[in-house]
Amino acid sequence: MQIQEQYARWCAQCGLLPPLDPDLEAELRGMAGDRAKIEDAFYRDLAFGTGGLRGVIGAGTNRMNVYTVAKASQGLADYVKRHFPPPAQKIAVSYDSRIKSDLFARVACGVFAANGIAVFLYPALMPTPCLSYAVRALGCAAGVMVTASHNPARYNGYKVYGADGCQITTQAAAEILAEIEKLDIFSDFQYMDFSAGEAAGRISAVPESVYTAFVAEVRKQSVLYGEKIDRNVSIVYTPLNGTGLKPVLRTLREAGYCNITVVPEQAQPDGNFPTCPNPNPEMREAMTLGMEYAAKVNADLLLATDPDCDRVGIAVKDEGGEYALLSGNEVGVLLLDYICAQRTKHGKMPADPVAVKTIVTTDMAQRVAAKYGVRTVNVLTGFKFIGEQIGLLEAQGKAGSYIFGFEESYGYLSGSYVRDKDAVNGAFLICEMFAYYKTRGISLPQRLEALYREFGFCLNTLHAYTFEGAAGFARMQGIMASLRAGVERIGPAAVCRTLDYSAGLDGLPKSDVLKFELEGDCSVTVRPSGTEPKLKAYLSVSARSREAAAALERLLAQAIERLALP
């Protein structure tokens, strides 16, 4: 169907067929005569991949709205009914603070219920890791988390989880997509009103006991093993107007951390993110207000979790007393070393300990793990591949082997109770590690410098280039094709080896990723984001000093920018 035909059909159908959203009618009227807006909204169906759906909220086939959600939910329902017997046809649903997240969650529940599937919805917004936990705790065939994670306010998304609590595999995503593609967006999904689903007993609340059990599992991840620490450290916490407030505070307070100041402007759920337009703890602007509060109360530690509370960022005082942000790689290495050291000290290291990281995460982690006799497994970008490794270890009878997994994008997990990154777990472990070292007169920057002296300095950075719309998507594809044609040098460094993961390497699934191994133990990894209209370049630079690494990183970044933005 042509773009203008699609637009005309939407104008005719919206407002007539449930589920209804009056905002769509107004937006469609506002598009009239604007060919560029109409084309961007209808030039394709919103892509459904291993991350589910993610896109700008609004009217159109390329937007997040009640109809794209209903169509995806029908495809998932058909997949569940095909693969699971009736007693196992259950789906858990959760949602974050984003605009229309609650509406989209209720629409999904209405579709599942109309298909005879038992639905469990958290009675209030809850983090992504709580959804992962509920899937397994309730014996569900699948789970849905309505979130766009750390994206700007105009985005929302629909993440799908398998029965193992991981985000769905590439194969499952392809099967669900095949089901979705059979459907007409207006006429081929079953739907019942949410209240009718509740009355029929098909939609139920996730029991409070599930949430309580999740918090208890997080607290079990402590590696103090009876050692004493000063829990009166001063903590400033911001949930960045997302889902983290209740679970993070409950977990920390139950563990004895009570000297906590919450950033008031960012405490309550608000999908407009008025004080942090990009609610991503990887970005300084999202941390700025929290750092200001930390300075006001002279806090020891700043914690920030993203809207769906699966990423956590921190700031700590440097030697000059100023607050410095630590990267995901730095925090991950610190946590890995802390966990390994404590397990080793107390005789709690399993027989075949395993740490898992993504291929774009710092290689320094592998050197730290090796010191403690821990085997490192490298996986593709995406925490679901870390979760998958937990399941594989359990299938091999090594349920206790997994000790830690992390990715450079501020995602951490130290237990097997969930199969996705968990910022509640991350915040809890960071506070414990911070208090442990502070009790012994050591700051986190000091501990990090000690690790650099022991293992060599390693600087890891991420550069992202945005390509919006149909033209941007085509341009990204062209850049990747150009890079695959051959690159001999990146800035001052010669390319020693090119790894193209599109064919599948090292037993990993096929993925649109290129890694250039450079002379001097440096590397550049380039991939299109699976969830955002961005091309991402990950730089890993080893050098004799921090200054030398920074200088080389600048040259490599400039070279990558010339390649990505000719």
Nearest to 101 by CA among 304, 310, 270: 270
Q: Are 122 and 28 in contact (CB under 8 A)?
A: no
Helix/strand/coil for 3: helix
Question: Which is catalytic among the residues 149, 327, 401, 409?
Answer: 149
As a whole number of angstroms, the distance between CA 91 and CA 163 comes to 9
Helix/strand/coil for 324: strand
Helix/strand/coil for 229: coil
As a whole number of angstroms, the distance between CA 294 and CA 301 comes to 7
Nearest to 107 by CA among 191, 208, 230, 166: 191
Per DSSP bridges, beta strands 118-121 and 90-95 are parallel
In one letter, which amino acid is 263?
V
Q: Are 44 and 185 in contact (CB under 8 A)?
A: no
Q: Cis omega (within 30 of 0) on the bond before 509?
A: no
| DSSP letter assigned to residue 264 | G
Phi, psi (deg, nearest 5) at residue 365: -60, -40
Nearest to 332 by CA among 363, 304, 308, 370: 363
| DSSP letter assigned to residue 88 | G
Quick one: tokens of 46? 């919103």
Contacts of 562 (CB under 8 A, 6+ apart): none
Q: Which helix (H) or strand (E) holds 56?
A: strand 53-56
| DSSP letter assigned to residue 86 | G
The three-state (H, E, C) secondary structure of 498-519, written as one string: EEEHHHCCCCCCCCCCEEEEEC
As a whole number of angstroms, the distance between CA 141 and CA 46 comes to 24
As a whole number of angstroms, the distance between CA 325 and CA 335 comes to 16
Q: What is the CA radius of gyration of the chain?
A: 23
Asked about 327 being catalytic, the answer comes back as no
Q: Are 108 and 65 in contact (CB under 8 A)?
A: no
The three-state (H, E, C) secondary structure of 349-408, written as one string: CCCCCEEEEECCCCCHHHHHHHHCCCEEEEECCCHHHHHHHHHHHHHCCCCCCEEEEEEC
Geometric angle at alpha carbon 31, from 26 and 36, rounded to 5° = 155
As a whole number of angstroms, the distance between CA 374 and CA 376 comes to 6
The three-state (H, E, C) secondary structure of 134-148, written as one string: HHHHCCCCEEEEECC
Please give the order of strands across the beta sheet that includes 354-358. 375-379, 354-358, 402-407, 411-413
Catalytic residues: 149
